[in-house]
Amino acid sequence: MIVSGALYGLCFDESCGGRVIMTGGFGRLWSAAVLSSFGDALRTAALPLLAVTLTDAPLLVASVTACGYLPWLVFGLFGGAVADRVDQRRAMWIVDVVRGLLVAGFAVAVALGHASIALLIALAFALTTLQTLFDNAATALLPVLVEHDALGRANARLMTGQQIAGGLIAGPVVPLLLAAGTAVPFAADALTFLLAAALVASLRTTPPAREPSPAGSTLRAEIAAGLRTLWRDRALRGLCAATALCNIGMGALIATMALLVTGWLDAGNAGYAAAMTGYTVGSLTGGALNGRLVAGVGRVRSVLLAGVVQIAALAVMGSVRSVVALVAALAVFGAMGMVWNVNSTTLMQQRAPADMLGRVSSAYRTLAVAGAPLGALLGGVVAMAWGLNTPALLAAAFLVLSVAALIPTLKVDVSVVEPDDDTTVRVPS
């Protein structure tokens, strides 16, 4: 699911045993992720609102979102292979510094009145290109900072903290910052990138032991090994296929959400902020309930249930012309999105070989995101042809296909298969 630690001592996943310690390495990583999410939320909310002031063409507005996904198709696999070769901590803080400088430059351009759709597209493409390395490095770094049995709890706390900062806090702040100046949200985002870089740079971690690469090994061969490992694990393969189908619909929904709220519902920027806040509150609820859900039905079945509930939420978004109904539907949608994200990420970290986690992560992300640019463009097309509410209904249709793709995964007890031998390790789903 496209989306993106708690400030209080709650256990958000499994039981309270094996508590995730919010100090030291994990605490700093959590703080950096939460701070960066706050800035990202300011930028991602401000970009479509800025886009609709530059053009009223739905397809052009959707193109900004589409170009934000394209780098995963071009550079995603490469980013994962690089993440397995380098010091992940160093890669992350360097990327954040570069992203901070890029967004700062964009804020200056907006302040001087030089914003354009072309510039928005270029920024979205550049930031996501850098994100392909950052996200894969972050996924591989987390298991170094916490115990294997605590990964589910760590992911839940990390994602919940990001939702608190990115939606509950940042959502209502966006209209205030925009009132102070169109460039202000982007300047704030640049600052958060630089502060997050400083936090990650202060981590003192020992990189996981890696077998030396065979003589003559190439990035292409290492990428292929990551793809083979993903393909051999039926649970991850099924999740990847389901997420890819889901993200076609999500691309359509995300690309046109500003049009749905400000156009079809005529709710303005305040309505958009309320919708995003509803999504965030739902996400926090999903983080709190995830442990009980996993204990009751298992990780893969939790993802399946999340998809079924999200289909109903999307149907409400696309058919009920009410801001209150939209906010409620987005709250349910966010809760199930958190369940999907926490469990799919945890399964990947638990099942992939440690020295290949960057490549398996990049293969999963790249294949899963592949449909999002198409979905974003489809969203613009159907919005023009049949109305601004129809992308939500299109997303519901793709969620139906996504759930169908998950069903075969439930029928077998799968194991983790090492990439180049016959050794298997049992990991409960």
Residues 356-386: tens digit of each pLDDT: 877 887 788 788 777 777 888 888 899 888 9
Q: Phi, psi (5° rounding) for residue 416?
A: -85, 130
Residues 36-83: tens digit of each pLDDT: 888 888 887 787 778 877 877 777 777 776 777 778 777 878 777 787
24-204+222-412 has which fold?
Growth Hormone; Chain: A; (1.20.1250)
pLDDT computed for residue 194 by the predictor: 94
Count the alpha carbons within 13 Å of 261 in the hemisphere toward its beta carbon.
24
Residue 196 predicted with pLDDT over 80: yes
Query: Do the beta carbons of residue 388 and residue 259 sit within 8 Å?
Result: yes
pLDDT computed for residue 279 by the predictor: 85
pLDDT computed for residue 17 by the predictor: 39
Residues 97-138: tens digit of each pLDDT: 999 999 999 999 988 988 888 888 888 888 888 888 888 788
Please state whether the predicted TM-score (pTM) of the whole model is above 0.95. Answer: no
Residues 162-179: tens digit of each pLDDT: 778 876 777 678 778 877
What letter would DSSP give residue 260? I
What letter would DSSP give residue 408? G
Residues 261-289: tens digit of each pLDDT: 888 988 887 888 788 788 878 888 888 88
- Please give the Cα distance from 399 to 245 (Å, whole number): 7
Q: Assign residue 10 a region: left if phi > 0, alpha if psi is -120 to 50, beta otherwise? A: beta
The pLDDT of 399-427, averaged and rounded, is 60
- Please give the Cα distance from 361 to 148 (Å, whole number): 17
- Please give the Cα distance from 378 to 397 (Å, whole number): 13
